[in-house]
Chains A and B, each alone.
Chain A
Amino acid sequence: GAVVSQHPSRVICKSGTSVKIECRSLDFQATTMFWYRQFPKQSLMLMATSNEGSKATYEQGVEKDKFLINHASLTLSTLTVTSAHPEDSSFYICSARGSNTGELFFGEGSRLTVL
């Protein structure tokens, strides 16, 4: 099946710093990728839709200036959490549609801890 890779899997940073998370589709091209956030014991919340070559579409309540998304190629989308604060600590997961069946392939997730 299609593979989506995320990096880093874990990151710890100080409050006020910025963190970049990469999401790559390894064996297919993804014109659209999706970024989710998941807090402990809660479900995945869609943050934004990342579109190759154009601006991301953000969900209501998600600050686009805080969560910068870049989808510069058909195999790479990045999420940058700018000026991170402890409340941004969460599990961030990306996904991409791999086929015409509509299923999403998810990365392994990136656990961000902001001290």
Chain B
Amino acid sequence: SQKIEQNSEALNIQEGKTATLTCNYTNYSPAYLQWYRQDPGRGPVFLLLIRENEKEKRKERLKVTFDTTLKQSLFHITASQPADSATYLCALSPGGNNDMRFGAGTRLTVKP
């Protein structure tokens, strides 16, 4: 069956450290993968998209990697801040039609 797994339900780190979140998928061959941030009671907000032919993409303090052999994406937040505390979701579209399917998310807490 098809699965999108984010291996940590919750992650607690100290301010200033790098947070690394993992997304693994099974029985998908996505052309691209996306990461979103969701705050409690709000809709998700798009962060980054990485295509299958891209190994790495950066945006400010964010970095995403995409390994289609391992079927895994890693999401890094460097120099983390308490304001980064949120749930981070990875998502992909099975058919490339933007019908995004989401992982369960990792709830990140950055402690001051």
Contacts and interface: CB of A to CB of B under 8 A. Distances in A.
Chain B interface extent, by class:
20 to 34
Q: Main SS of chain B's interface residues?
A: loop
Nearest to B96: A102
Chain A interface extent, by class:
20 to 34
With most chain A CB atoms within 10 A of its CB, the pick from B41, B98, B102 is: B98
B49 A101 contact: yes
A33 to B, nearest CB: 10
A43 B89 contact: yes
A107 B32 CA distance: 22
A77 interface: no
Interface of A: 4, 6, 32, 34, 36, 42-46, 49, 91, 93, 95, 97, 101-109, 111
Interface of B: 32, 34, 41-46, 49, 89, 93, 97-105
26 contacts: A4-B43, A32-B98, A34-B99, A34-B100, A43-B89, A43-B104, A44-B89, A45-B102, A49-B97, A49-B99, A91-B41, A93-B43, A95-B43, A95-B44, A102-B34, A102-B49, A102-B93, A103-B49, A104-B34, A104-B44, A104-B98, A104-B100, A109-B41, A109-B42, A109-B43, A111-B41
